Structure 1
Amino acid sequence: MSQICTSSNYTMKPIITFSCILLFFTTISARSFSDYITPNFTASYLEFIDNFGTFLFSHNRTFKAAIFNPGGQQTSFYLCVIHAASNTIIWSGNRDAPISDSGKMLLSFKGITILDEHGNTKWSTPSLKSQVNRLQLTEMGNLVLLDKSNGSLWESFQNPTDTIVIGQRLPVGASLSSAASNSDLSKGNYKLTITSSDAVLQWYGQTYWKLSTDTRVYKNSNDMLEYMAINNTGFYLFGDGGTVFQLGLPLANFRIAKLGTSGQFIVNSFSGTNNLKQEFVGPDDGCQTPLACGRAGLCTENTVSSSPVCSCPPNFHVGSGTFGGCEPSNGSYSLPLACKNSSAFSFLNIGYVEYFGNFYSDPVLYKVNLSACQSLCSSNCSCLGIFYKSTSGSCYMIENELGSIQSSNGGDERDILGFIKAITVASTTSSNDGNDDKENSQNGEFPVAVAVLLPIIGFIILMALIFLVWRRLTLMSKMQEVKLGKNSPSSGDLDAFYIPGLPARFDYEELEEATENFKTLIGSGGFGTVYKGVLPDKSVVAVKKIGNIGIQGKKDFCTEIAVIGNIHHVNLVKLKGFCAQGRHRLLVYEYMNRGSLDRNLFGGEPVLEWQERFDVALGTARGLAYLHSGCVQKIIHCDIKPENILLQDQFQAKISDFGLSKLLSAEQSGLFTTMRGTRGYLAPEWLTNSAITEKTDVYSFGMVLLELVSGRKNCYYRSRSHSMDDSNSGGGHSSTSSTTGLVYFPLFALEMHEQRSYLELADSRLEGRVTCEEVEKLVRIALCCAHEEPALRPNMVTVVGMLEGGTPLPHPRIESLNFLRFYGRRYTEASTIAEENEYGSVMLQQARSSTTSMPSDSSTRGFSYMSSQNISGPR
């Protein structure tokens, strides 16, 4: 260029000089604007190439608006709003109509228009009620068209794509749609929709995740939802009365919630120094996304990493076609498209598997056989496969789109058997056969195929009718026999009805064999006795025999079990199955190999370290929070105590016996009402006949926290020995005397809190392996939970936040804890009165006889604890 500009050819100088000036100005990028721009403004990527297409910054340059090419590709450019520091796209205008690098964005008095290189309109804002005065990019990332009165005419926040940011709301009825890929911003096939009761992820109309089912998210109320939002402290769904769902997260200045290209809903934060940090993903199981392993691919959860393992189900191999995933191993078959499949097809058995859509949909048929399920799919051109559960006769159907298959956890007869519809390739290519049949029929000749098939079809229909009549008569006969008392209930009569959500059903003989005729007793309580068992698949279980069942009707019993069986949380003991055969009522739970908390905390087990105690407290709090806020039907446990907190490896805590109060007999129910849980964990409202709410469990949890701190029962027997000087009697020697009595630890904890002497409360067996601050945290939370007025107690979601550190620790209100002083005096008096009372004498004798297992210190020797079973009876 320098040679051209310094040419000695005099006649060319004016022309060359003009060319140099023109080239100079066209290669200089236009200057970006700050805060806002006004109408009659145009921008293209080439005009602002030095700023990578950026033509507008927010006031503090937090966000920028640009004609941008995601992924660095050079073919598709979009109008985008981008978080500058992390270079993250939070909104795009023409996502389904990209332009080239020479396409333009035009701001006029009518709004924004995106034009291609030929001047054709590709995208524009809708008609506005008045003229545009300016386009502003706010510090929250909102692109806003304003009129001359600064009134909003249109906002990008009200037209979300796949992302929301702090300050933005996604109202009920609105949706986020995923992008096709990281470089292609066009709408993908995944959608997050806010309904009046939940946030739902769907793929071609098939639901594969709901926010309410995620154990990390807490439900505070049952209010109707209004909108979803994120802020500096977390992710929330709000209703008219406040927060309905919440996920507390660490403080962050910038946070986004995005529906990713893989179908997962992800919440990220940005610290300012690193890339985006993932804080939440739903679903967190990669196999639960619709196309984790492609169409008909078999997805297995990877226990080592978060990436799932992909393979193919039986009768399938890795495909090479358009859809990826897996194809039928038999080359004579291919996978169909909805309502485009041939009339000639087969059902390929893919074994005992699961499908993401079945978790959130009801069966299309109940109590049918496999043949009826296949017949329904055969008559529906949109059906691409079925899943059949033989134990309940449930028929699930896949329609319109087929996703990935999931490996089954069980693999026995209680799992769901899958079948995929496959069309015969020959029938789609052999069109001459069809034409010959058509010609034969037109010539008046009866088709041979019809002549052969018609009698067969008629015979099948006749047999089906006979079977249905026989089945109906048999069922009516059985029901009549039951009414007349001729038949005692058996496992078979469960087939007479269907209850959605029932867990696996076991025969009594199966459980008898699994427990070796109920040989190994591992626990007992008010609901019955518990035995250790081993199922045929080698899984260890705890089998609970329920005695004196209150619900006599088998269907009522199963209805309650269905409610319990549908409650799933990492900190709740899982109900694996049940037995309702004859008079037998048994529940099959997962086996907790470390036993109950009371055995680990108060018994002869190795001392629990402080971190293990804290983990137990946090796990129990999370489980209770889910029972109170995360379930569709709120559950109040009413008997939280160490005996009902079970431990697994790594001291993971799980709450047991939740939701079983409806299974008590009339006698047991009366006992439960009279004793109101277990003495030592009773909230004051039990004693005053006040309303029982979830705050009753909060009080009991506070009592358990104090026991975790001290390593002893809150009500324990203490014997103190001290010297007495006998010099006054002239003996010149000293003697010893002892005093005994019941000690009420919550009162002692209150007194030490007032004196800020928290280490006095810690278990002496920890020998200094806990700090004053750690003890103070649990004691303050426990005392807040123990407030006399239920309204002053925090809910369990807040308690979880306190334990995790996301919620500031409150100060207990002393005036609401003064009742503990009255309780303490009553316990002291009871220890004296009990000496004269036959019942009390037995109690004290039991207490004194169990002093060997617990530690002692300089001020407390020979102390023992009273088992809660001694007071309220076994639970």
Structure 2
Amino acid sequence: MGRPSPIRPHLLLVLLLGVLRSDAGTVRTELVTPDFAASYLLFIDTLGVFLRSSSGAFEAAVHGPAGQQDRYYLAVLHAPSGTCVWAANRAAPITDRAAPFRLSSAGVSAEDANGTVVWSTPPFASPVAALRLADSGNLALLDGQNGTLWQSFDRPTDSLVSSQRLPAGGFLASAVSASDLAEGDYSLNVTAADAVLTWMGSSLYWRLSNDAISIKDREGTVAYMAVNGTGLYLLAADDTVIVQATMPPAGLRIVQLGVDGKLQISSFASANSSSSPMDGGIVAPSRGCALPLSCGALGLCTPDGNASICTCPPPFPTAHDDGCAPSVGSTLLPDGYCGGRSATSYLSLGSGIAYYANKFSPPAMAGSNASSCQALCSSNCSCLGYLYDSSSLSCYLAQHQLASFINTNASNGAGMSGYIKVQSSPRSSSDSSSSNKTLIAILLPTIIAFLLVVVVGAFVIASRRRKDEQRVGRRASRSRDVQLRRQRSPGSASAHLVRDLDNDDDGDDDIVIPGLPTRFTHDEIEAMTNSYRTKIGAGGFGAVYKGELPDGSLVAVKKIEGVGTQGKREFMTEIAVIGNIHHVNLVRLRGFCTEGHRRLLVYEYMNRGSLDRPLFRPAGPLLEWKERVDIAIGAARGLAYLHFGCNQRIIHCDVKPENILLADGGQVKIADFGLAKFLTPEQSGLFTTMRGTRGYLAPEWLTNTAITDRTDVYGFGMVLLELVHGRKNRSEHVSDGGGEDSNSSNGTAGGSSRGGRNDYFPLVALEGHEGGRYAELADPRLEGRVVGKEVERMVKVALCCLHEDPHTRPSMAVVAGMLEGTMELGEPRAQALGFLRLYGRGFAGPSEGNVMKQAMVGDRTRSETTMTTMSGWPSYMSSSQLSGAR
């Protein structure tokens, strides 16, 4: 007979916490230290896993069960099988994949998208020194002396693993569903005498001591339940066995209470063995009809060996997902119903009927007849039905919520009969029939006369209006409402918006977008902007004005000018994108206006404007290094949310400093979604017309390659280099001959190996990386006020983003993690950045530019019309064309 192994004390920590803190690996091993944060978005490439036990058997993760994107939990997973064995915040899941779990010296906490703490560990007397995931699957908070402040084994959810104990008075609670880990209706309770399964808090349907797999060794008080390599045990305080269920030897066992109320015991050869469990697993109760809802509410379960067959009893013939429904004319009474205007009656289920709870529940009444049993149920507000056993003269009540019944005609339950309480009309059927006949006799002549008047009147009116209808018919056919329904997927909303608008000539005043931001009238826009008095920006699309809403909040009003077909499309795309998504790093759309040819968008006001202003303009305050790092991280998070946080991936297509907005308090937000494109979950890429801004366009725009979210990654890499350097990556004053305007202020500070003539900073950054000269790449205006390691990190991340092959670029989630230092820093691939040398040579002179053109075309065999100029962009496209209809 096997005994459970006692829990050993924690081993002493042998790694220096300071070393662990500096480790920026994608997934840590065994320990993480305070000032650590993990979100699903930050660890999306590892499906949320951020910590592994030393053997790799268990993983700590930000877990989104069943692949859904609405609920995330701090969880412990059995790595080989993917089984979730523990979850921290069952009642308070995080609803945003970018919201973090944070480890601090005070403990672990979970935040929502607004930064509000929704779950945390309790306060401790000592500061937390580390979070440790043991090979047993126990997640523990340790103090500086390696003492345990808090551990997951003391707070089980729906599972136990080998070496874990569940004390008397403790319980496991099932999850609501595979995707919702909140506590469900089933629980496994350890009592002083047994381990039992209950439904709805009190209805017992299984006992370990009654199961065929168990043996009761002796009488005694149960102190705890444990599972180990030899079986499942109920043990006394001195570790002697009271009840045991022995099983074949196994290295690891997981006891889990399923969402259906079944207790599943899975066995594995070892803790880190393959995901396939060993034979000999146990499911309790073993017979399907023993479960409360084996056939849903009111269903009739017929045993068929260990399987079951579900039917509906004759009084409840209609089957649905949750069980069986009464026939027409019968209504089940709600729980707690006590009288009222309608009387109650009882529908018989027939004989040979049992109830799941009868096996373990004493009768409500004994030694009585059926009439006494019915009277007992009628006097009990919570009684929904009763079962009468004529052989023992016993009565059992079904209370609070009805479950499945069991067909026992083939067994020894033939003496049991079932009855269900229903609501019936107090009037007799004969009275009802008489009343109906009288009512028909009175109303029928009146109805006939009224119908005749209506028909004659309608004929006269139709004759008079026929000519008018023919005259205005064509106009009426052109007039229609464009209803744009807000959907959860921004991609779908955008598709409907753009398609409906393209089919509309000028009937824009009728655009209705239910659920999207406020639609303002033009008079309201004029009032909030004081007749467009304060202009705060302008671009190819038009101008931006400062405004104020009636509630006092400031807004920025974007006035779209020169609206053509493309302008309409961009306008509606922007509404669809911004109106359907909300993220701390995405600008919020407060409303819009469409009247006639007027198109206006109302945004939240970002008082520091766009990033290009403080970054590129000599006047005004200089962006300090920490600000630049924070801006890079915030923008990366916003783009990562677009790519991974929505049902459909959103490709921004125009990532540049002008579309990154800043505000006091370190706010960073991505803006301007007029050129955005959408990818459905089935799409890996798409083909579309060229869009974006010269200097930030990825190479795939020029090579007829499908566009993916990695196209935005390229543009972000260019922005990163500009944040490092403090100037544009390329001069805006390069002539066709390759010479640089002497008045350009965007030249490279520091030069390059090309003799200082190279004005293409990505090439300078590549050469600086190859030579390890990262400090030289920083903005000289900072005068050395930078962190060398952070400059190196930003340059490396930027160069990884600029890989020519989109498939070798990191995702934006990984980029954000690398910038934050929570993910392993990638190493740029020299062979993937060779094209930067060709682009860079375009600034040196015509001869080298021609060489670059030939190389760019090369094996791609593109036509002469798509040959590139020395700056690497199509010579036949202007900057405004590349930027789209701005």
TM-score (norm 2): 0.43
Bigger proportion of residues as helix: 1
| Highest RCO, 1 vs 2 (Cα 8 Å, sep ≥ 6) | 2
